[in-house]
Structure 1
Amino acid sequence: MNADGREGIPEGWQRAPLGELCDIQAGGPALRRSETMPDGVPLVRPADLHHRRISAEPGMPRVAPERARHLHRHRLAADDILVTRTGTMGRAALVTTNEQDWLYNSHLLRLRPHDPAQTPYLLAYLTRRATAQWLESRAVGTTGMRSITVRTLSELPVTLPPLDQQRDIGAALAAVDEKIRAHEDIVRTTGALREALSDLLMSGRLPPRP
Structure 2
Amino acid sequence: MTSTDAFVPPAGWSCAPLRDLCASLQTGPARRAEDRGRTWADGGAPLVLPRDLQGQRILTGEAAHVPAIPPDGARTLVKYELAEGDILLTRTGTVGRCALVTGEHAGWLFHPNLVRIRLPEARQVSATYLVAYLSATAAQDWITARTAGSVIPSLSLRTLGELPVLVPPAAEQEAIGATLAALDAKIRAHTEIARVTRDYRSVLADALMTGVLPTEP
TM-score by length of 2: 0.86
Q: Which residue of 2 aligns with 1:3?
A: none
Q: Which amino acid aligns with 1:177?
A: D
Q: In the superposition, relative to structure 1, how do residues 162 and 82 fare at CA in structure 2: closer, same or farther (>3 Å)?
A: same
Shift, 1:156, TM fit: 1.2
Q: In the superposition, relative to structure 1, how do residues 116 and 196 fare at CA in structure 2: closer, same or farther (>3 Å)?
A: farther
Structure 1 segment 88-107 matched on structure 2, within 5 A: 88-107=94-113
In 2, the alpha carbon distance for the partners of 1:43 and 1:83 equals 14
In 1, the alpha carbon distance for the partners of 2:124 and 2:215 equals 55
Q: Which residue of 1 aligns with 2:130?
A: 122
Q: Of 59, 69, 77, which residue of structure 2 is paired with 1:71? A: 77
Contact 1:90-1:129 at 8 Å conserved across structures: no
Q: Which residue of 2 aligns with 1:198?
A: 205
Q: Deviations over 1:13-39 (max 9, x none)?
A: 111111121123332332134224223
Q: Does 1:175 align with 2:182?
A: yes
Shift, 1:69, TM fit: 0.9
Shift, 1:7, TM fit: 6.4
Between the aligned residues of both structures, percent identity stands at 45
Q: In the superposition, relative to structure 1, how do residues 81 and 205 fare at CA in structure 2: closer, same or farther (>3 Å)?
A: same
In 2, the alpha carbon distance for the partners of 1:90 and 1:100 equals 21
Shift, 1:60, TM fit: 2.9
Q: Does 1:21 align with 2:21?
A: yes
- Alignment gaps of 5+ in structure 1: 1-5
User: Does the residue aligned with 1:185 lie in a helix, a strand or coil?
Assistant: helix
CA RMSD after TM alignment: 2.1
Q: Which amino acid aligns with 1:49?
A: L
In 1, the alpha carbon distance for the partners of 2:145 and 2:212 equals 57
Contact 1:79-1:116 at 8 Å conserved across structures: no
Q: Of 140, 157, 160, which residue of structure 1 is paired with 2:167? A: 160
In 1, the alpha carbon distance for the partners of 2:193 and 2:208 equals 22
Q: Deviations over 1:142-165 (max 9, x none)?
A: 623232222222221111111000
- What number of residue pairs does the alignment pair up? 204
Q: Which residue of 1 aligns with 2:3?
A: none
Q: Deviations over 1:29-51 (max 9, x none)?
A: 32134224223321112111111
Q: Which amino acid aligns with 1:153?
A: L
In 2, the alpha carbon distance for the partners of 1:117 and 1:158 equals 9
